[in-house]
Amino acid sequence: MRLVFAGTPETALPSLRALIDSPRHEVVAVVTRPDARAGRGRALHPSPVADLAAAEGIEVLRPAKVSDPAFLDRLKALAPDCCPVVAYGALLPQAALDIPRHGWVNLHFSLLPAWRGAAPVQHAVLHGDEITGAATFQIVKELDAGPLYGVVTEEIRPTDSSGELLARLAESGAGLLAATLDGIEDGTLEARPQPLEGVSVAPKLTVDDARIDWKAPAMRVDRLVRACTPNPGPWTTFREQRIKLGPVRLAGSAEPLAPGELVVSRNSVLVGTGTHPVELGEVQPQGKRLMSAGEWARGVRATAADRLV
């Protein structure tokens, strides 16, 4: 099939690579978000998908709005049979959905209808799910509600961050997306309606959401830190300055501490929660590099009077 691939971040690269390498399909163009400013110099940079497409000599479309007539005209001229989508980052109007004869097929990183929305992996980790996965479905106007083609499952490991889990799902999901398009092409795969029960929503996690509440149970703190790693980044304050945190470890055998209370020893830095303490892994003070919790505690000379808030 002739494909126009829509995607933006690194998460989409395994799928794009799988389709470029497929002998059964031709990626004639990619649709991605406009170049964005990044880095200290705030220079404009193309998306990872744009970079890969350019390296492969594939046309790159960067519409400011998918409803722009010029973009829709170009999409019609490309005459795609299907438009696969992985983490594109914008809603698609009906005028765009109607162009390919097989529609737009999305790879979503949850077991739909669970965790519809922008942050399915983060919410799966945050809520303590043991199993998640990826699903392919036909895009319709309602958010992530289209009929399903297929799924793959993935165990959520006790130490998984959202970034680690998403990286695994991106790889397994790429195979699912390629197999889905193969089935659509040869007519052996039919989309089935999503179950009516089990719908949950996964809105984007904000910086405010990522602030740690030390009065919460230790397990909740652990899940929040892992869910918000790497983005938007879990954080707390120390001496009225914001600091980012890396992974924590549940320390159920330690003596109870007040929420936010610090105990620094030669081998660990413990913080009190609403239940038992957690052990800090890494800390990044404002404007400084990421460092071990022990190195950070020695540098700031943390005392018994200090608290994380």
Per-residue model confidence (pLDDT) at position 253: 79
Per-residue model confidence (pLDDT) at position 79: 98
Per-residue model confidence (pLDDT) at position 264: 93
Per-residue model confidence (pLDDT) at position 302: 87
User: What residues of the chain score a pLDDT lower than 70?
Assistant: 39-41
Per-residue model confidence (pLDDT) at position 39: 67
Q: Please write down the HEC assignment for all residues of the chain.
A: CEEEEEECCHHHHHHHHHHHHCCCCEEEEEECCCCEEECCCCEEECCHHHHHHHHCCCEEECCCCCCCHHHHHHHHHHCCCEEEEECCCCCCCHHHHCCCCCCEEEEECCCCCCCECCCHHHHHHHCCCCEEEEEEEECCCCCCCCCEEEEEEEECCCCCCHHHHHHHHHHHHHHHHHHHHHHHHHCCCCCECCCCCCCCECCCCCCCCCECCCCCCHHHHHHHHHHCCCCCCCEEEECCEEEEECCEEECCCCCCCCCCEEEECCCCEEECCCCCCEEECEEEECCCCCEEHHHHHHHHCCCCCCEEC
pTM of the model: 0.94
pLDDT in tens, 123-158: 999 999 999 999 999 999 999 999 999 999 999 999
